[in-house]
Amino acid sequence: MTGKPRILVTGAGGFIGYHLVRRLKNDGFWVRGADLKGPDFEPSTADEFAVLDLRRWDDCLAATRNIDQVYNLAADMGGIGYITANHADISRNNILINTHMLEAARVNGARRFLFSSSACVYPQYKQNHPDVTPLKEADAIPADPEPGYGWEKLFAEELCRYYKKDYGLETRIVRFHNVYGPLGTYEGGKEKAPAAISRKVALAEHGGEIEVWGDGQQTRSFMYVDDCVEGLVRLMASNYSEPLNLGTDRLVTINQLIDLVSSVAGKRLKKRHDLSKPQGVRGRNSDNTLLNRVLGWEPAITLEQGLTTTYRWIEEELRKAGRIQTIAAGQAAT
């Protein structure tokens, strides 16, 4: 060993966790991954990969043994359809994961603990217009987060503060804003908007139509996974322990996101809006003022660049599964 910290990444079988493990290994760290299962699409590059249920205390103790730094990304989560339909399960599972992981990290002598929170902690009353004012970290209080997922994330942020104050555990808190990229879930109900839209566009015929949840005027900002990982590594190395946004501040409507993906695919598609489906808050954007000040950096990969890579990967996965029978280039829009 070179004296570098030994690192644990929980949720290492998931999308962000897989990419983070790969980055940390490339940086020369010894890494243990832990999750309920391994990655779906490629084997983990971790030095050790432990299949564990981090809702269980004994499994959290095993995961954190002989570890210096913990990136706690493990969570029961998904897209808007999933998190609005499973409040009890999500809240119970994530509260168990986060409380057990914090205590196990303390008991086993970990020096730093990064908790992955979410922009879902922000008050719904500040997100009821598409042209939303970018959300500052201080906006989380007075609290009115999204039911279930948002409330448990906000509580876990407070728990991190308590562990730092009472026990001296160096905690870091990151609030993700809509992370996307290749090697992520793209169907089954837990996928996020960029992946779901990429799948729908890839499967649609040129000149056809795709279903859109809501009227398509709801707005979000989207961050490519490589930028997300860079931000995580920088935050862990910093001395900042308060919650910090990690996202881009480019606001787009869901309709615009569909148009961007359709352009990558070379397809012209009609949108069929389903107003009965959940669409979340009306608008959400990241204020990156504090991110810039704390880390001297902010995400730089453009939405066009990230969507191109993401769409091509999903399209190829669908093609390998035999679900796309024709070559999209032959259907290019003119």
pLDDT at 334 over 50: no
Rounded mean pLDDT of 231-252? Answer: 98
Residue among 149, 163, 186, 311 flagged as catalytic: 149
Residue of 221, 226, 72, 225 whose CA lies nearest to 153:
72
* Residue reference for tokens 């609005």: 84
pLDDT at residue 288, rounded to an integer: 98
Rounded mean pLDDT of 191-206? Answer: 96
| Distance of alpha carbon 41 from alpha carbon 253, whole angstroms | 30
**Residue 327: pLDDT band by 50, 70, 90 thresholds?**
low
| Distance of alpha carbon 196 from alpha carbon 135, whole angstroms | 25
The overall average pLDDT reported for the chain is 95
**Residue 331: pLDDT band by 50, 70, 90 thresholds?**
very low
Look up the pTM and report it.
Answer: 0.94
pLDDT at residue 332, rounded to an integer: 45
**Residue 3: pLDDT band by 50, 70, 90 thresholds?**
confident
- The C-alpha angle 102, 70, 88, rounded to 5 degrees, equals 50
pLDDT at residue 325, rounded to an integer: 75
Rounded mean pLDDT of 117-131? Answer: 96
Helix (H, G, I), strand (E, B) or coil at 38: coil
Residue type, 56: R
Helix (H, G, I), strand (E, B) or coil at 327: coil
Rounded mean pLDDT of 281-297? Answer: 98
Eight-class DSSP state of 198: H
| Distance of alpha carbon 7 from alpha carbon 234, whole angstroms | 15
Tell me the helices (H) and strands (E) count for the chain, helix number first. Answer: 10, 13
E strand segments, the chain: 6-10, 30-35, 48-51, 69-72, 112-118, 170-176, 179-180, 209-213, 219-220, 223-224, 243-246, 252-253, 270-274
Rounded mean pLDDT of 47-51? Answer: 98
Catalytic-residue membership of 224: no
Q: What's the burial of 179, exposed, middle or buried (CB within 10 Å: 0-12/13-18/19+)?
A: buried
Domain 6-179+223-246 sits in CATH 3.40.190.10: no
Residue of 89, 138, 153 whose CA lies nearest to 290:
138
Instruction: For domain 193-220+250-285+302-331, give the CATH superfamily.
Output: UDP-galactose 4-epimerase, domain 1 (3.90.25.10)
Beta bridge partners of 272: 211
pLDDT at 302 over 50: yes
**Residue 14: pLDDT band by 50, 70, 90 thresholds?**
very high
Helix (H, G, I), strand (E, B) or coil at 42: coil
pLDDT at residue 326, rounded to an integer: 56
| Domain range annotation of the chain | 6-179+223-246, 193-220+250-285+302-331
**Residue 330: pLDDT band by 50, 70, 90 thresholds?**
very low
SS (H, E, C) 226-291: HHHHHHHHHHHHCCCCCEEEECCCCCEEHHHHHHHHHHHHCCCCEEEEECCCCCCCCECCECCHHH
Residue of 67, 95, 73 whose CA lies nearest to 12:
73
pLDDT at residue 116, rounded to an integer: 98
pLDDT at 54 over 70: yes
Residue type, 189: G
